[in-house]
Amino acid sequence: MTWSVTSGLIGDGQAGKEETKAPLKALELIEKHAEPAIFVFKDFHSYFGSNNRPADAQIVRRIRDLVPVLKRSPRPKNIIFIAPSLVLPTELQKDVAVVDFDLPGFEEIHEVLSQMIAANRESGRITIDLSENDGEKLVKAALGLTLQEAENAFARAMVEDGRLDVHDVDVILEEKQQIVRKTQILEFIKSQLSMDDVGGLENLKRWLQKRNKSWLEEAKRYSLPAPKGILITGVPGCGKSLVAKAISAMWQLPLLRLDVGRIFSGVVGSSEENVRMAIRTAEAIAPSILWIDEIEKGFSNSGSSGDSGTSTRVFATFLTWMQEKTNPVFVIATANNIHALPPEMLRKGRFDEIFFVDLPTRKERVDIFLLHIKKRLRHKVAVGDFKLDTSVLNKLADITEGFVGAEIEHAVIGALFEAFSENRAITFEDFEKAVRNTVPLSVTQAEQIRSIREWANVRAVAATAKEQRAEYSQPSGTTPEEEQRSNDIMTSRGGRTVDF
C-alpha cells in the first residue's frame, strides 16, 4: 500500500479515503491492518523536521509506539519511507534502517541512450554519428543525472541540430550545471580556453596528455586507475589557474571550482556537512575535475584550535576522501605559498604529482607574447605597419627577463593603451615603454621566489620541458648589469628533472 499527503493510503482494497491523508490516521490504520503488508510512505520526511523546523512530536511518538506492534505482529508488516534526502529524528535512528539508493550507473544510462538511438534510427528523423568511444563519452558525461534527466539531456541534444554526435557532450554538461548551482559551494566553470592558450609548460602538458581518456572503459584493459589529481605550485602569475581551466577543455570534463571560504560559512556544525555535500556533488557528476584555487588559504590553519577544531575535522574529511576516492574525480589544487600547506596533504597518495611552475624561460616568453599579441591585435587600425615576426618576439623576450605570464599580458595591454590614447597603430616602442613601467615580481618578491624554488628543487617536478630548462644557464643580457640580473633571477631554479 502507498501513502501520500494528496491521496492517502491506496492499495489492497483501500481507495484513498479522505481521512487517511492525515499522517496520524494513516499510521493508526497500519496498526489495525490484519494482513501481511508493505506500506510505502512518500515524502514523509517533511514531518521529521529540518534545520528551520523541528520534527512533529506527535507523529514521531506515534511511530515509536508502532514499532513494537510491528515486531510482535503475527503477520509481517513493514513501513518504507521514501525521501530525496536523509532526514531522521534522533528518536527514530535506532528503529529505522537507512538504505541509500544510488544514481543510475553506466550500464543503465547506456541502455537509455541505446534505446533512444535505436528508436530514432528507425524513424530516420535524427542523424546518429557516434562511434563506440563517442557513445561512451556521452554516457560518461551523463553520469550523475537521474534516468529522467539523462533522457531529457539526450533528447535535447538530438533536437537542437537534428543529429547526435560527440560534440553534444557540452549539452549534457549544461544539464549538470543545474546540480552544481544548487550546492552554493561549488561553481561550474565553463572554460573556452584550450592548452594552445597556455604558453610553455610542455612537461606538464605531456603528463596531462598521456592521462587523457584514462577514465574511459578502454583504460581498464591496462588495469589503470583514474588519476587522482595534481598540485601546481610556483611563482604567482605564471599560469597555474590557466592550466586548470585548459585541462577541462582538453579532457572534455566538467570543471568545478570549490570555494573553501563557503565551506566554513553558515551555522555552527554546517562546515562538515558542506564539505561532504561538495564531495558528493563532485562524485555525482563524475568523471569531473575539482579545482581548488590557492588551497593554502583554505587549509593552512587546519591545526589551529581557534575554531574548536572545525577546520581540522573538515581538513581530515577532505584528506581521507582524496586518499580513498574511487570515483573519477580529478583534483587540481594550486598554491602560491606551499610552505603554508600541512605536510599530510603533500605526501604520496593524495596527489599523483606536484608540479612547480617557475618564471617563464626565454622560449616560453616568446610563446606567451605571441599568444597575447595575436589575441588582441586583430583590427587593422591597431596593427598598422607593425610586423609581428620572429625578430620582434625575440627582442620582447629579451627585455622581459624575469617577467611572469600575467606581467607579459599586462605589458601587451599597456602597449595597446599607449597606442589607443593617441589614436594610432601600435609600435615596438609602446611595448618597450610598458615593460619599463613594470616592476616584475622577480624583483619585488625575490626572497619568496627563492624560498619556493628551494622547496621545489627536491619535492616537485618542473612544469617546463627539459629542452627549455637548458635556457636557464644561458642568460640573454648583453651588459654586465643585465647579465648579473639574469644570473640572480636564474639562481636556484627549482623542479626535479623528471620529464614526461
Q: What would the pLDDT profile of 390-441 be if each residue is shown by its tens digit?
A: 999 999 999 999 898 889 999 999 999 998 998 888 889 999 999 999 888 8
Cα–Cα distance measured from residue 195 to residue 248, given in angstroms and rounded to the nearest whole number: 10
> Both 129 and 48 in a single domain?
no
Cα–Cα distance measured from residue 107 to residue 240, given in angstroms and rounded to the nearest whole number: 37
> Both 374 and 427 in a single domain?
yes
Average pLDDT over residues 184-194: 78
471 in a domain, yes or no? no
**22/190: higher pLDDT:** 22
360, three cell numbers: 617563464
Q: In this predicted structure, what is the pLDDT of residue 301?
A: 55
- Helix or strand run (H / E) with residue 166: none
Domain count of the fold of the chain: 4
Q: What would the pLDDT profile of 102-116 be if each residue is shown by its tens digit?
A: 778 888 999 999 999
> Both 156 and 276 in a single domain?
no
Host domain of residue 196 = 188-355
473 in a domain, yes or no? no
Average pLDDT over residues 84-107: 84
Q: Is the peptide bond before 76 cis (omega within 30 degrees of 0)?
A: no
Q: In this predicted structure, what is the pLDDT of residue 59?
A: 93
Q: Say whether pLDDT at 486 is over 80.
A: no
Q: Which residues contact 403 (CB under 8 A, 6 or more apart)?
A: 359, 360, 365, 411, 435, 438, 440, 442
216 in a domain, yes or no? yes
Q: Say whether pLDDT at 387 is over 60.
A: yes
> Both 52 and 144 in a single domain?
no
> Both 202 and 350 in a single domain?
yes
Q: What would the pLDDT profile of 114-141 be if each residue is shown by its tens digit?
A: 999 888 887 778 888 888 888 888 888 8
> Both 218 and 351 in a single domain?
yes
Average pLDDT over residues 176-200: 77
Q: State what percent of residues in the chain have pLDDT above 90.
A: 16
Cα–Cα distance measured from residue 309 to residue 193, given in angstroms and rounded to the nearest whole number: 39
Q: Say whether pLDDT at 179 is over 80.
A: no
> Both 198 and 347 in a single domain?
yes
Q: Where are the alpha helices (H) located in 254-340, listed in sequence order?
A: 260-263, 270-284, 295-299, 310-324
- The average confidence (pLDDT) of the chain is 82
> Both 110 and 74 in a single domain?
no
> Both 347 and 401 in a single domain?
no
Q: Would you place residue 331 in the very low, low, confident or very high pLDDT band (cuts 50, 70, 90)? A: very high
> Both 438 and 346 in a single domain?
no
> Both 426 and 341 in a single domain?
no
CA nearest neighbour of 339 among 297, 304, 286: 297
461 in a domain, yes or no? no
Any idea what the CATH number is for the domain that residue 172 is in?
A: 1.10.8
Q: Is 132 exposed, middle or buried (0-12, 13-18, 19+ CB in 10 A)?
A: exposed
400 in a domain, yes or no? yes
